[in-house]
Structure formats: C-alpha cells, structure tokens
Structure 1
Amino acid sequence: MGTADAVPGVSGGTIALITGIYDRLIAAITAASPALARRALDGLLGDRDQLREVWTDVDGAFLLALGAGIATAILTVTRALHVALETAPVLTYGFFFGLIGASAVVLRDEFRADSPARIAAAVAGIVLAFVASGRASAALGETALATFLAGAVAVSAMILPGISGSLLLVILGQYERMTEALSLFVDALLASVTGGPTATVVETGVPVVAFLAGGVVGLLTVAHAVRAALAARREATLAFLIGLIVGALRAPVTRVGEEVAAWTATVAGEFAVAAAFGALLVVGVDRLAGGVDLE
C-alpha cells in the first residue's frame, strides 16, 4: 500500500482490496472517535484495562504492522521518485500520465452517465482538477498551512480504491515538493545519528510534521465525509471522483512543460513510451484485483 500511495494513479486502497484487508482497514480507521480518544487518555493516565480495550477496538496490532509497512515503502519509494523527477522529469511525468489515465479507464464501469446529476458531478470533478492542476502550486504556496491542507486531502484519499493520494498532491502542485521534503528530512535524521546538527533535523522536519498532522486530521474528518457522501449519493460522488482523475491528466503535461524548453518530437516520444508503461502497470494491478469494485 505504501508503494502504491507513493505514485500518482495507483491507489493504496486498491492494494488493500487485492490483499483482502480493505474491510478490516476501513473498520479500524472509522473506529476512531472523540469518545475513543477520551478512553485512550484515561488508559494512559492509569487505567490499563481501558487502554487494552481501546487497542482492541481500533485493531491496534493490525494498524501498527500495516503502518510500519506503509511508512517503510513510502520512505524508500519517494526517495527514488525524487531522484527520478530530478534526473528524468519527462519520463517520470509521462509514467504518471499513464498511471492516471489508466486509472480512469479501469474505473469506467463505476461511472454511469444516466442522470443530469451524475453528469454534472463528473464535469465538476474534471473542471476542478483541470483548473487546479495548472494553478494550485502557485495558489497554495509552501507554507505550513498549505502543507497541512495537502496532507489532509492526500492521506484521506488513500483509503479509497481507485483514488490516489499522490494524484491529489500532483493536482495541488505539492507532489515534487513533498518528495523532496521527505528525502531531506530522512537525510538530516540519518546525519544526526552520526553526529550531524540536530537543528537541520528540526528545520527539514517542519513540512513533514505539518503534512502528517494534516493526514491525521484528514483521516478523522475528510475520509468520514467522503464515506458519508458515498453512502448518501454514491453514484454522483463516484462520478465526481472519477472526474477528478480525468481532469488531473493536465498535471503531468503541465509539469513537463515547465521542465523543457519546448515539446519536441523526442520529448513527446519519451513521454508516450513512459505513459504506456505506466498504463500497463495499472491494468496489470486491476487484472490482479479482478477489477476494482467500489461497493
């Protein structure tokens, strides 16, 4: 799931479906509540039985093991992707384009344009993602608040099959920045172990902490809101989410345009080859999953 969440277009939720842990994951995440937090606080203040009950209610052992695996994968994959973005941006963004485009294709059965509301929701998603893909980077900036909001949006998406949190970071113009921030933080942390300055750890850790804090809030709020929307207006919500994917296809093209002087035949060819590879990867994952079913 961590590897999938690190690349735009592939959803960690899809991997959860493939491995058969999706229902257990959703149950564990949605078990969190203010009442549960109060019980956990009581447990930390001395009521060990209460603390054990809370640990059981949130399936703590499962979340701990899963979280460790996700964190390990994200730390390694994002470093590789950061290097790829620095050294081969055309190929990397072309790969992302294929991942995103194929994700929309494999979810086509979830979209039924049989009512004005669903069509309007899909168009709204396309327009929102298309506009945001060209302007969000400048609009959000690099403040702690922008990082917090990016974390809230991206992490809340990781539990939805077919919707990638990294894709939303690309739309928001925060993907490259966050992969770099995470790499710098890990480098500073490792350097401090061997005698490096701790001040660097604190400095590079600010955006990472802000992102994680936003992620926690996102899981406890945005994810619940999305699930409520799916329960109330399932088809329209899915149409909107799929529209976001389609509109996001602008993002990798825009990023390549920022990296190269002009779109030449060579650039377009490299982009297309990488996109084809990314598309094949998503189709392969979908076949392995037996087709994404968002029921």
Structure 2
Amino acid sequence: MVDLRAWVGVYLRGLAMGTADAVPGVSGGTIALIVGIYERLIAAVTAIDPEQIRRVLAGLTAENRADARQAFYEVDGAFLTVLGAGILTAVVLVLRLVDTLLETLPVATYGFFFGLIAASAVALFGAVDLTTPRRKIAAVAGFLVAFLASGYAATALGHALPVVFVAGAVAVSAMVLPGLSGSLLLVVLGQYAFMADTLSDFFDGLAAAARGGGLDALLDPLPTIVVFCAGGLVGLFTIAHAVRRALETARAATFAFLVSLVVGALRAPVLEVSMRLTAAGESWASALPRFGLAAVVAAAGVLAVDHYAGVLEY
C-alpha cells in the first residue's frame, strides 16, 4: 500500500533542498542533513551505475519489466523520483525569482549572495583542522582555485555549450555534499545569472507554446538546458563519487579544501557587482549601503540556522 503522506513528505523535503540549491552559499546537502534524508540520498545516488540504468531502460519491453522494476527498487528509484520532482519544482520557482531580482536589484541580490557565502564559510570553518602541512596546503589550494577561477571565469569563459556542460557537472555534483553549494560554483564559473535567465526564457517559451504561440521561443534556450542537464548527470555519477572517496580517504584535507573553496568564492559576487556598476556608470561608494545591508541580512539568517540547527558541518 502506498503511504501518500510519506511521499508528500519526501516531495516537501525536495522542495526545501531545491530552494537551497538554487541560492548561492546555501547547500542542498545541508538541508538533506537537517530533514534527515542525507544518508538515504547518498545510498541511492551511489547505488546507480550504468548496469542499473540499462536494466531500468530495458523495462520498455514487456519481457524485461520485472527485472527493470527490481533494478528501480534497488536504486531507491521512487524516492529519487519524488525527491527530484520537489527539487526541480523549487529550482524553477526560485531561479525565476532570482532572475527578476538580478534584473531589478542586482547590487542587493549579489550582496545577499555574498552574505550567504560568507556566513556559510564562518559556520563551516570552525570544523576545519589545519594541524598538518597537507591540510594547510589543501586549504590554500582550495582558496586559490576559487579566487582565481572567479576572476577568470567572470570575464573569459563565456557561455559556450562545453562550458555549460562542465558547469552542470560541477554544480549538480555539489548538491549531494553538505556545506558546498552548487549555485555558488555556478557563480564562480560565471554561469549563475546566465543559467537563471536561460531557464526563465525556457519556461516563458513553454507557456507561449501552450498558448499556441509556436515553438521558436522554446527551442532557443533548449540546447543549453539539455547540455547543462547532461553535464549534471555526468557530474552526479563521477565528480560526486570522487569527492566522497576523497572524504573517506583524506577527510580532513578534503574538507579543508572544500571550505577554503567557499572562502575564495567570496570574490565572485564582488566582481559581478563591479562589472554591473561599471556598465551602469555607478560607483561602489553609492552601492555599498545596499550591498552591505543585504549581506548582513543574509549572513544573520545563515548564522541563525547554524546556531539553532547545528548541522552546517560534515
């Protein structure tokens, strides 16, 4: 018998994770820890391999359906499907809101992101152990990777499909890691605003097509969405597995690298604001109050969650 209440609970947990995943600096993996599904999520994701996928797809033919159902059960497919539906719903809704805010209030929005990232780094850094040279080297490497990538990606990477594929692989793999935000990595790679805008255009095109307005507006952003999702699938079953193995074999050094990655990423929203101010002919002196107030509000929210929930750690 289907326990509808339990599945509604899974969907709502997916909504919470998706909301977090869509906001830079907040980790969907952390939310999974808070709502008590992290271990089940990791077990389900790591159970998926090419053979399991082949068995499920083979269920399209009648003679293989029993084995396909068994394979679907083995990877906790129903749980992943319902949770994924919740995540997708939230990501779509939040990114459409963020796209609007980036158009109308870019300085305050990036200030909010800065506060989220900074407070997440503060909350996580207390658990970092830098007592060995290897851990110190890992921390410096994480900081430099994010700091330098933020400067380079914001101006040089562009939005070609190979870049979008890599961005999808990196961002989606971070969804299963508590403390590390996939959206934050999109900001570092200079792809966050672009993907938010692309997703908004896609759903606007979908609505227009439903009203009989043709498919042109829908087809334009579709290749970017497909390539990003393809990259996400690759990342989920490669990068995420590699990071989990690194945490198992060198937990402290890997954690130091990941947290320092968050610290280095603080450069990204500052650069985004600087570029927008330059384009608008505005100075940092006039924009700083908006940026700072939004950052303080966001940081206070994250630190309050950390204080009362106590789960912003691995």
Aligned-pair CA distance for 1:262:
4.7
Q: Alpha-carbon deviations, 1:166-186, whole Å to 9, x = none?
A: 000000000000000000000
User: Which SS does the other structure have where 2:180 is aligned?
Assistant: coil
Which of 42, 45, 68 is matched with 1:26 structurally?
Answer: 42
In structure 2, relative to structure 1, the CA distance for the partners of 1:138 and 1:72 (3 Å cut) is same
Q: What amino acid is aligned across from residue 219 of structure 1 in structure 2?
A: L
Q: What amino acid is aligned across from residue 48 of structure 1 in structure 2?
A: R
Aligned-pair CA distance for 1:233:
1.0
User: Which SS does the other structure have where 1:142 is aligned?
Assistant: coil
How many matched pairs?
A: 294
Cα separation, 2, equivalents of 1:287 and 1:192: 47
Aligned-pair CA distance for 1:266:
3.1
Aligned-pair CA distance for 1:160:
0.6
Aligned-pair CA distance for 1:112:
1.0
Which of 277, 297, 307 is matched with 1:277 structurally?
Answer: 297
Which of 15, 18, 35 is matched with 1:2 structurally?
Answer: 18
2:286 aligns with 266
- Check whether the contact 2:201–2:217 (CA below 8 A) recurs between aligned residues: no
- More displaced 10-residue stretch of structure 1: 134-143 or 55-64: 134-143
Written as runs of structure 1 = structure 2, the 5 A alignment for 1:85-104 is 85-104=102-121
1:286 aligns with 306
Cα separation, 2, equivalents of 1:267 and 1:139: 25
Cα separation, 2, equivalents of 1:180 and 1:264: 25
Give yes or no for the alignment of 1:191 onto 2:208. yes
Q: What amino acid is aligned across from residue 249 of structure 1 in structure 2?
A: L
Which one has more relative contact order, counting CA pairs under 8 Å at least 6 apart?
1
Aligned-pair CA distance for 1:39:
2.0
Structure 1 runs not aligned, ≥5 long: none
Q: What amino acid is aligned across from residue 121 of structure 2 in structure 1?
A: A
Q: Alpha-carbon deviations, 1:260-291, whole Å to 9, x = none?
A: 13544331111111000110121123234323
- Check whether the contact 1:18–1:288 (CA below 8 A) recurs between aligned residues: no
Aligned-pair CA distance for 1:201:
1.2
Which of 173, 190, 210 is matched with 2:190 structurally?
Answer: 173
Written as runs of structure 1 = structure 2, the 5 A alignment for 1:144-159 is 144-159=161-176
Cα separation, 2, equivalents of 1:264 and 1:293: 34
- TM-score for the superposition, normalised by structure 2: 0.91
- Check whether the contact 2:44–2:75 (CA below 8 A) recurs between aligned residues: yes
Cα separation, 2, equivalents of 1:287 and 1:207: 39
Q: What amino acid is aligned across from residue 297 of structure 2 in structure 1?
A: F
- Check whether the contact 1:17–1:289 (CA below 8 A) recurs between aligned residues: no
User: Which SS does the other structure have where 2:131 is aligned?
Assistant: coil
**Structure 1 outlier segments of 4+, above 4 Å:** none
- Aligned residues with identical type, % of pairs: 55
